[in-house]
Amino acid sequence: METQNLIESFTDFAKQKNIDRPTMMKVLQEVFRTVIKKKYNDDTNFDIIINIDKGDLEIWRFREIVDDEWAEDSFDYDENKHVALSIAKKIEKDFEIGEELSEELKIDDFGRRAVILAKQTLLQKIKDLEKEVLYLKYKELIGEIVTAEVYQVLSKEVLLVDADGNELSIPKSEQIPKDRFRKGENCKAVIHKVEMNTGNPKITLSRTSPVFLERLFEQEIPEVADGLIAVKKVVREPGERAKVAVESYDDRVDPVGACVGMKGSRIHGIVRELEQENIDVINYTENIDLFITRSLSPAKVSSIKLDNVKKRASVFMKPEQVSLAIGKAGLNIKLASKLVGYEIDVYREISHEISEEDVDLEEFSDEIDHWVIDELKKIGLDTAKSVIAVGKEDLVRRTELEEETVNEVLSILKSEFE
């Protein structure tokens, strides 16, 4: 009866976890073969028949009938695999040497400890199956959004539980810097990575992945979910700024307008989810010049020179547009470069007319070495204000000048206008 309960309880569990019938049979076979091996050291001459639907178990042992004298004297005699003719005849008189004796054994014949062993082995198999089912389930869901409840906030990670009570993790590196988690609140993230760690599935979520932003577009914007608009590429500086290139497959649908919505109504929910991350939605095009122009928005581009071999773009614009193109801490140009796949260099258009309020760099030749002035002119900067507008970080990146030299130059130029 205990065996029947054992089989039935395992079968119920397996059905709940959608474990297929062959796997169920394999697990039960392994459990009862473990019991047989424990008692007889070998299970090769045993057959196990299990009826999952009824919870029935049959264990059959097969032994070769041998001569009594051989059974008595031979070192090769194995009680588990051989049986003396005289013993076999007590079961059936017609048995002869060389024939096979089949006997059905009951699980109770193995003793109380065997039943306990079967239970323990089955419990371990269930645990292993649960881990495997969980691993395979989430492995197939990599790149999909999941909503889970926060149950513990640690210094290096946040632990969450899904609807089935499974543990998920968002490491610090996958959290948006502005994220603040509270126990009991729901959190959205994308399934980033699934690994087996010392036999246990480790499910890692991410809120910084570009895929997370792409999935949010699919959730919040019907045209993206329906396939009318495709998200071609996403680049992010989590919590600060993102650029999303979109393309419409229907000429009647404006992809940027559909994604942003009236007065930003559609994208507002995404921005809020990403802790006020500023999102630029850009109309994708295969025309690389136009794509670069759009990617540098809100700056206005005058002209572009491409080096398709080195994947570099020299972008020329009016002085007042340079700082817009570069953006705060160089973020706009950095994301634009990632989006289009070209290293973008922004140059100020050389003008022969200098504002009365500006000063030609040559006027500073007594304070700044001429080779430094030449280095600045190489990138289209020939006035004091044009150099100041570009800023230290971009000057270091675009020229051969050391940071110390750049600081000194900026100090000299700025003092002119103070």
User: How far apart are alpha carbons 44 and 66 in whole angstroms?
Assistant: 19
**Spatial separation of the C-alpha atoms in residues 160 and 168, rounded to whole Å:** 5
**Distance, CA of 175 to CA of 238 (rounded, Å):** 8
Say yes or no: 113 and 22 in one domain. yes
- The secondary structure of 168-219 as a DSSP string is EEEEGGGS-TT----TT-EEEEEEEEEEEETTEEEEEEESSSHHHHHHHHHH
CATH number of the domain encompassing residue 240: 3.30.300.20
pTM of the model: 0.70
Identify the domain containing residue 409 by its residue range.
361-417
**Same-domain check for residues 204 and 214:** no
Which two structure tokens, joined as six digits, stand for 412?
């000299």
In a domain, 80, yes or no: yes
Q: How far apart are CA 29 and CA 7, in angstroms?
A: 11
Q: Is residue 7 part of a domain?
A: yes
At 386, list the tokens: 């044009």
- Residue 320 belongs to a domain: no
pLDDT of residue 239: 93
| Residues 6+ away with beta carbon under 8 Å from 336 | 243, 292, 295, 296, 325, 344
Listed in sequence order, the residues at least 6 apart from 392 whose beta carbon sits closer than 8 Å to its beta carbon are: 403, 406, 407, 410
Q: Looking at the structure, tell me whether residues 249 and 224 fall in a common domain.
A: yes
Residues 129 and 13 in one domain: yes
Query: Do residue 56 and residue 124 come from a single domain?
Result: yes
Would 366 be classed as within a structural domain? yes
Q: Clarify whether residues 12 and 127 are in a common domain.
A: yes
Q: Are 119 and 95 in the same domain?
A: yes
Q: At what angle do helices 331-340 and 288-295 cross, to 10 degrees?
A: 150
The b/e string for 184-201 (b: 16+ C-beta within 10 A; e otherwise) is: eeebbbbbbbbeeeeeeb
In a domain, 203, yes or no: yes
Give me the CATH number covering residue 145.
2.40.50.140
| 141 three-state secondary structure | coil
| 103 lies in the same domain as 176 | no
pLDDT at residue number 243: 97
In a domain, 224, yes or no: yes
Are 108 and 159 members of one domain? no
Q: Per the structure, how many domains does the chain have?
A: 4
Among residues 343, 342, 220, 339, which one has the least CA distance to residue 283?
A: 339
Given 175, 208, 241, the domain boundary residue is 208
User: What integer pLDDT is reported at residue 352 of this predicted model?
Assistant: 47
Of the candidates 136, 166, 184, which is a domain's last residue?
A: 136
Contact 316, 345 (CB under 8 A): no
Q: Give bridge partners of residue 146 from the DSSP assignment.
A: 189
- What does 252-280 look like in DSSP terms, one character per residue? T--HHHHHH-GGGHHHHHHHHHTTS-EEE
> Are residues 185 and 249 located together in one domain of the fold?
no
Is residue 148 domain-resident? yes
Total count of residues recorded for the chain: 418
- Side-chain-facing half-sphere of 175: CA atoms under 13 Å: 17
In this predicted structure, what is the pLDDT of residue 344? Answer: 93
Predicted local distance difference test score (pLDDT) of residue 19 = 78
Residues 23 and 95 in one domain: yes
Contact partners, residue 255, CB within 8 Å, separation at least 6 = 223, 229, 246, 247, 248, 281, 283, 284
Q: State residue 2's pLDDT score.
A: 64
- Residues 160, 204: Cα–Cα separation, whole Å: 10
Task: Report how far residue 57's alpha carbon sits from residue 11's, in angstroms, rounded to the nearest whole number.
Answer: 13
| pLDDT score of 306 | 92
Point out the domain boundary residue: 121, 136, 151.
Answer: 136
Cα–Cα distance for residue pair 392/38, rounded to 1 Å: 76
Whether 317 is in a domain gets the answer no
In this structure, the answer to whether residues 42 and 122 fall within a common structural domain is yes
> Which pairs count as long-range contacts for 394-397, CB under 8 Å and 24+ apart, including other chains?
394/326, 394/330, 394/333, 394/346, 397/330
Q: What is the pLDDT along the chain (418 residues), one digit of tens a residue?
A: 567 777 887 788 777 777 778 888 888 888 888 888 888 888 999 999 988 888 888 899 999 999 988 888 888 888 889 999 999 888 888 888 999 999 888 877 777 787 788 788 888 888 888 888 899 999 999 999 999 999 999 999 999 999 989 999 999 999 999 999 999 999 999 999 999 988 899 999 999 999 999 999 999 999 999 999 999 999 999 999 999 999 999 989 999 999 999 989 999 999 999 999 999 999 999 999 999 999 998 898 988 999 999 999 999 988 888 888 988 888 999 999 999 999 999 888 765 444 557 788 888 888 888 888 888 887 778 888 888 888 888 788 778 788 999 999 999 888 887 6
CATH number at residue 401: 1.10.150
